[in-house]
Amino acid sequence: MPTSTQTFNPRRLVGIHAERVTDVSSTDYPGHYPGEDHSWSLDKFRENLTVKVQRLSQRSIDFDIVGVDASIANAFRRIMIAEVPTVCIESVYVWDNTSVIVDEVLAHRIGLVPLNIDPSLIAMKSGPHDTPTDRNTIIFKIDITCSRNPSAPKGSTEPRELYINSELLSSHLVWAPAGEQDEVFAGKPPAPTNPNIVLAKLRPGQSISMELHAVKGVGKDHAKFSPVATASYRILPHIKIKQPIPPEHAEKFQKCFSPGVIKIDPRTKQVSVDEVNVRNDTVSREVLRHPEFADKVELSRVRDYFLFNVESEGPYTPERLLPEAIKVMREKLAVIKKSAEALRDRATDGDVVMAE
């Protein structure tokens, strides 16, 4: 008897074969199937849409989005990477730097340090020449000098024991409040998310003195503004066993898939697909290399079932990233809607301005 993961409409499946992939394009649009109405419906979209969190930790999240086109899922992924705003150090004013690291390299390292500042609490500069204010700029200062430790243990070779301030760490970034920032950030003073990032190593007599200006920006301008370390998705694998697998081939069949995907009954040696762990399969097609399995299994992926993995690196908790991406998309749609209405209401001559 054929066994498979949960049942899906065959029209939703992308066929995975030994040398090719079939049924890649979606077919749920008007006119493809004679006599069937596939015009877009908000009620039907709401009925089919599902968002489910599978795993949540302090810095990462796994969630599923079901019932959307790949273009929408990919838009969320790209927005999370490149258009959800964060706050990073943009301008570095070096007053003194006698370390072995040149100013430009050290400034670049400091700019990549993730900060815990909620971007919603400050405004974004309209241009690089905007005047810094307490509404659009957060100031940090660094003032550190390395010296010998008079109390160092005799015979020690550890720099941390021999010297005071042997390393410039991200914890040495000290926030300098301006204007009303003391009140705005009273609950969570601005600081690096990780205080132990090594930025430079110092030896006695070397010092660093800097003023750092952090501003709000997006990842499409510079990667340091990206709020995620990774944001990716896979399409749900679907495995259908069309014919029983002979007991003598059960373990060989199991090893063709990722661990935990295929179950073998210890008593009967019957092979089945684990409906929970099937999401972990990489669809390597290893099973299709073996002639004895070629006609016994069917591989596919569910076209509109997306398995997201997102790692947060910055001020956002992992569960907040998707809502922030949706907020950005809604703003984009509002601009398109406004422009379309302007195009409808105006004469056909001339260009329509999409945004200021």
Amino acid letter for position 250: A
3-state secondary structure of 225: helix
How much is the pLDDT for 352? 58
Q: Which CATH superfamily is domain 86-224 in?
A: DNA-directed RNA polymerase, insert domain (2.170.120.12)
Residue range(s) in the chain whose domain bears CATH number 3.30.1360.10: 11-82+229-243+295-311
Helix 70-82 crosses helix 318-345 at what angle (to 10 degrees)? 110
How much is the pLDDT for 41? 87
Residue range(s) in the chain whose domain bears CATH number 2.170.120.12: 86-224
Distance CA 342, CA 350 (A): 12
How much is the pLDDT for 187? 85
Q: Among the CATH numbers 3.30.1360.10, 3.10.450.200, 3.40.50.300, 3.40.50.2300, which is that of 11-82+229-243+295-311?
A: 3.30.1360.10
- Per-run averaged pLDDT (10 residues), the chain, 356 residues: 67 92 86 85 91 94 94 96 95 95 95 93 87 92 94 88 93 94 90 94 95 95 94 95 92 93 92 92 93 92 95 92 96 92 74 59
Query: Could you tell me where the DSSP H helices lie in 117-201?
Result: 159-162, 181-184
Cα-based distances in Å from 190 to 93, 207, 226, 263? 19, 24, 18, 50
Residues 54-77 as b/e (b if ≥16 CB within 10 A, e otherwise) read: eeeeeebbbbbbbbbeeeebebbb
Predicted TM-score (pTM) of this structure: 0.85
